[in-house]
Copies of this chain bind each other. A is one copy, B any other.
Amino acid sequence: MSQAKYKLIADYIRSQINKRKWLEGFKIPSEMELSELFCASRMTARKAVDLLVHEDLLKRAPSIGTFVNPPRAQSSLLEIKNIKDEIIERGHSHDMVVLSKMTLTPNTKVAFELSAFETKVFKIVILHLENDIPIQLEERYVNAELIPNFLEQDFSHITSSEYLMEVAPLSNAKVMIEAIIPSKILKHHLKLDDNTACLKITRTTFSENVPVSLGYLYYPADKYRVTSQLSVN
């Protein structure tokens, strides 16, 4: 299959950045230079740059040039996106390691959030890797009555979000973002040193206003941040 020329140019720029040949603040070749380099018209080179500006990888400064933005995984709070899609969109590899699976009687907090006072809940702990580097530890509780086959899924291939989306389409969610000092076990799984904090996102998801799942998502603070654009009107 053949790629569009502007995608080839974008891939080239992306790879220079990923390979750290072009670092933060680097002024990339001008649109004219790119178009000559790839025997393309300026509009085509420009389209490649447009793509990466939209991905927040580059930033334009009119009359001056186009520059590499600071690196870092980013995520928009607004979108209900799972970590896998986010990683794939960045063109990186995504892998999962299932650390544990169990059925249990929920503690007060979990029971309250899931309105699971009468039923058991399933718990899974999954480590998500981006290019083989830990990026998220997912600790998830699911109402066992609502999603009876949850534990039988192969969570090294399908994400919990994907499976839940299939069986209980998401209608809304409640999100909380906190900063924490990582516990020993978190430091171990996320390979954190003593100088790195941890971002904790707690997300309760609802299907038709019934709480289905509660997830505690832990991220290494040096590799992950949440971003959001907002506008008045």
Interface residues, chain A, CB within 8 Å of chain B? 25, 43, 54, 59, 61, 64, 67, 70, 72-75, 77-80, 108-109, 112, 115, 117, 170-181, 195-200, 219, 221, 225-233
Contact = CB atoms under 8 A, between A and B. Distances in A.
B197 A229 contact: no
Contacts of A43: 43
A175 B80 contact: no
Nearest to A72: B78
Given A59-B112, A112-B59, A175 B78 contact: no
Contacts of A64: 117
**From A54, A178, A219, A232, residue with most partner B Cβ within 10 Å:** A178
A197 B176 contact: no
A111 to B, nearest CB: 10
A203 to B, nearest CB: 9
Contact of A221 (B54, B61, B179): B179
Contacts of A74: 78, 176
Nearest to A171: B232
B80 A77 contact: no
A85 B198 CA distance: 28
A171 B231 contact: yes
